[in-house]
Structure 1
Amino acid sequence: MNKLSKHVGSVVAVIIGLIGVLLVLYVWQLPPFTSAVQRTNNAYVRSKITFIAPQVQGHVVEVLVTDYQEVKAGDLLARIDDRIYVQKVAQAKANLAQQQAALATAAQQRASAEAQVTAAEASLNAARVNNEVAKREFDRLTTLQARGVTSQSDLDNARASFDQASANVNTAEAQVEIAHQDVLAAETSRGSAQAGIEAAEAARELAQIDLDNTRILAPEDGRLGEIGTRVGQYVSAGTQMMGLVPHRAWVIANFKETQLHGMKIGQQATIRVDAADGQTLTGHVESFSPATGNEFSVLRTDNATGNFTKITQRLSVRIGFDQDQPLADRLLPGLSVEVSIDTDQPVTAD
């Protein structure tokens, strides 16, 4: 009887041991209980949080929003004292008007220079005619003086008139060249004035941009975080005033490298939300990180030094929420979730 009891006890102990081993294998999803469904609780809701900062400096004169307020794209969030920037715009406009006046003056100078060219060319033509008349008179008197018909004094006077007419032609030609140079100078002044106008217009646009930037606007729809600015505070370019969280969110799930086999873009994922009392949502795998988290860390592991211990790495997988899920609108960046993906499921093309 004692032998039978011992035998039964041994069998029971073996059975209990086998059950324990099987239970451990099941819990750790080891063969023969390996499942195609890969799970991880190393997953969080993510979103593109925009930190709003001014592009100009000055005192905050108005804050029109409160903590955690819902806003639309283009809503006015805060205003910076704009008096200096208003005057800069006025100054830029005055400078532009001055440059436009300079351009008008340059245009008038060119027109005047072109008129001077016309007058100088007319004077040159008259001088050439007078020179031709003086030359003919000199030639005639030269012939007559050779025949003894005219006096030497008349010939000398004709020579002087001819020389004077020739000099007048040279002077008129020089005046024409000067007039042409005046036209070129006027054209250069016109180009300089045109460049001045373009520079003044750019300065006016920059001044207007600075003035517009005194109004801090919401870049997109979303909810604000804590408002970090107050009326009277002096802010400069880059000062963080508040954060804006857009409505679009997704999940970053960090799977072990041993779980990635068979995982593909487009596969459906089940997302269990801790903050929603375990309610689930559905989504799809959108993309995989190009490297493990260790490669993106500031201090990467150097396995070529010291003793080596293999550590299973994790790869980030981005999962987008399916549409028309009311619970998805309540998810906030940073919340913890649990993600399950059946790696055996086929991927259907869109």
Structure 2
Amino acid sequence: MKYLPILFVALTLLLLSACAEGASNFNFGQATATPDQTPTPLPTPITVFQTTISADGQVVLPLPPQTFSFQSSGLSGTIAEVFVVAGQTVKTGDLLARIDETDLQNALKKAEASLALLEAQIANETAPALAGDISEAEASLFSAQAELARLQSLPSEEAITQAAADLRMREIELRQAQEAYDQVAYAQGVGMSPQAAELQQATLAYERAKAVYDEATKPATEAQLAAARANVVQAKNRLDKLQAGLRPEAQVVNEAKLRESQLQVAEAQANLAKAQLVAPWDGVVTEVNAAPGVSTNNASVTIAQVEPLRFATSNFSERNLADIQPGDQATIFLKTYPNMPIPAIIYRIELESTQKDGDTALFTVYLDFNSGDFEVRPGMTGRVEIGIEPES
């Protein structure tokens, strides 16, 4: 207890010493510093963080392989020739296969011949009439009118008189021949006698004269008159057509026939073109199901379009979907070339999720890339890395 006062004094002295030092540091009793004398603070450094998104994927074709056949053409037949094999590279328009074209070529030739004939007929109808043709048509019309007039005048008194006179003469000749024959009728071999021959000739002459007389006394039938009138109309129409040229309505009919014939030629040409199966784009033949003699119903050729190849992700999380957009740069690392970064650009993002990882949707992202001199094939796998810079 005797040391307590000493300890208390020592602590008091130490406290007073500390207060005096603090008062000197705070400049008690001195002037306060002005703003111009305030030190300028140093700028705060901005730290930028970059995140890399990584997703697995593989190299894919721009389109699935497409199968082509003759079925869409509507043609049937057999394969005549196949021009490609599996693995062969083809260019747009290259011939893949063709069917037997014999019937199609014949159909085209027939259509072309019909068109040429129609064009010649139209040219003949529209050409100016020749003087000789008009004269011939006038003569035909005159002859038809004369025949109609003759039929309308039947029976003719003049014809009846002439026929009756001829009939009477043949009657007399027949009676005289009969009398001469009767005189030798009982002689042996009378059938070979001159009297028998004269009787036969006289009989035939009389029968002809009788037929002419009967015809001369008959009026014309309605059928004869109708036929004669039709001949007159036909002859007159022909003459009018030659003199007036082709009528407008006939010209319209000819133009319609011409269009129809031209369509038939175009259709035949199109069918002949369909007989050839051609490559619609550059690519590689992956499968050939065709051979000469095989029905077109069972023949096909499959082609894969190999340019441009793309890289497609299989597990890109929806959590990072808002951080990317088409046109963003990326880097691809293929397992075939693990140490070689391949520059790429996002081409498009699949509209709908393709699968899920737990409760997280995964999307397919397609990227265009430049493989340079490296050989890249569809199906090669690897990963893509996309650098994301967060907003400041």
- TM-score, normalised to structure 1, is 0.56
Aligned residues of 1:287 and 1:318 also touching (Cα < 8 A) = yes
Tell me: CA distance 1:246–1:105, structure 2 relative to 1, closer, same or farther (3 Å). Answer: farther
How far is 1:321 from its partner? 1.4
Amino acid at match of 1:338: R
Q: Name the CA shift for 1:282/1:91 in 2 (closer, same or farther; >3 Å).
A: same
Residue 14 of structure 1 is matched in structure 2 by: none
Give the conservation status (yes or no) of the 8 Å contact 2:347–2:368. yes
- Tell me the equivalent position of 2:350: 289
Matches within 5 A, 1:104-183: 104-108=123-127
Distance 1:68 1:291, change over 3 A: same
Conserved? CA contact 2:68–2:301, under 8 Å: yes
Q: 1:35: Cα distance to partner? A: 6.8
Q: Distance in 2 between matches of 1:81 and 1:317?
A: 47
Partner of 1:312: 360
> Which shows bigger deviation, 251-260 or 336-345?
336-345
Q: 1:268 aligns with which of 313, 318, 329?
A: 329
Supply the distance in 2 between the matched residues of 1:278 and 1:82 (Cα, whole angstroms): 56
Instruction: Give me the whole-angstrom Cα distance separating, in 2, the residues matched to 1:58 and 1:317.
Output: 45
- Are 2:289 and 1:250 equivalent residues in the alignment? no
SS of 2:267's partner is helix
Distance 1:343 1:193, change over 3 A: farther
Structure 1 residue 278 displacement after superposition: 6.9
Taking structure 1 as reference, are residues 187 and 281 closer, same or farther at Cα in structure 2, changes over 3 Å only? same
Gaps in structure 1 of 5+ consecutive residues:
1-33, 117-174, 295-300, 302-308
Number of aligned residue pairs? 232
Q: Which residue is 1:41 aligned to? A: 56
Which among 303, 325, 339 is matched to residue 384 of structure 2? 339
Pair 1:330-2:376 in alignment = yes
User: Matched residues in 1 for 2:291 and 2:339: separation?
Assistant: 40
Distance in 1 of aligned mates of 2:252 and 2:261: 14
Match of 1:233 in 2: 294
Distance (whole Å) between structure 2 residues aligned to residue 111 and residue 314 of structure 1? 84
Q: 1:105 to 1:287 in 2, by over 3 A?
A: same
Q: CA deviation at 1:220?
A: 2.8
Q: Select which of 83, 107, 112 maps to 1:93.
A: 112
Q: 1:99: how far off?
A: 2.7
Aligned letter for 1:77? L
Shift of 1:234: 0.7
CA-CA distance at 1:326 after TM superposition? 2.1
Q: What is residue 65 of structure 1 aligned with on the other side?
A: 84
Residues 108 and 269 in structure 2, CA contact (< 8 A), matched pair in contact too: yes
Gaps of 5+ in 2: 1-48, 135-235
Structure 2 matches for 1:3-42, cutoff 5 A?
A: 36-42=51-57
The answer (yes or no) to whether the contact 1:89–1:208 under 8 Å persists in 2 is: yes
Task: Say if 1:52 and 1:275 are closer, same or farther in 2 by CA, change over 3 A.
Answer: farther
User: What do you get for the CA RMSD once the two structures are aligned?
Assistant: 3.7
What is the CA–CA distance in structure 1 between the aligned matches of 2:262 and 2:339, rounded to whole Å? Answer: 60
**Shift of residue 280, structure 1, vs aligned partner:** 4.1
Counterpart of 1:250 in structure 2: which amino acid? R
Structure 1 residues 84 and 264: alpha-carbon distance in aligned structure 2, compared to 1, 3 A threshold: same
Query: 1:191–1:270: structure 2 CA closer, same or farther, 3 Å change rule?
Result: same
For 1:41, give the aligned amino acid. D
Where 1:341 maps in the other structure, the secondary structure is strand
Distance apart, 1:275 and its partner CA: 4.8
- Retained in 1: the 8 A contact 2:55–2:313? yes
Is the partner of 1:220 in helix, strand or coil? coil
Q: Assess, with a 3 A threshold, how the Cα gap between structure 1 residues 200 and 36 changes in structure 2: closer, same or farther.
A: farther
Partner of residue 67 from structure 2, selected from 51, 58, 79? 51
| Structure 1 residues 244 and 57: alpha-carbon distance in aligned structure 2, compared to 1, 3 A threshold | farther
Q: Report if aligned partners of 1:264, 1:343 keep a CA contact under 8 Å in 2.
A: no
Residue in 1 that maps onto 2:281:
220
Q: Give the deviation of 1:345 after TM superposition.
A: 9.0
- Aligned pair in 2 of structure 1 residues 234, 98: CA closer, same or farther (>3 Å)? same
Matched with 2:15 is none
Q: Contact 1:223 / 1:246 at 8 angstroms: preserved in 2?
A: yes
Report the residue type matching 2:270 in the other structure. Answer: I
> Shift in Å at residue 184 of structure 1?
10
Instruction: Compute the displacement of 1:82 (Å).
Output: 0.8
Q: Look up the equivalent residue of 1:78 and give its one-letter code.
A: A
Does residue 1:193 correspond to 2:250, yes or no?
Answer: no
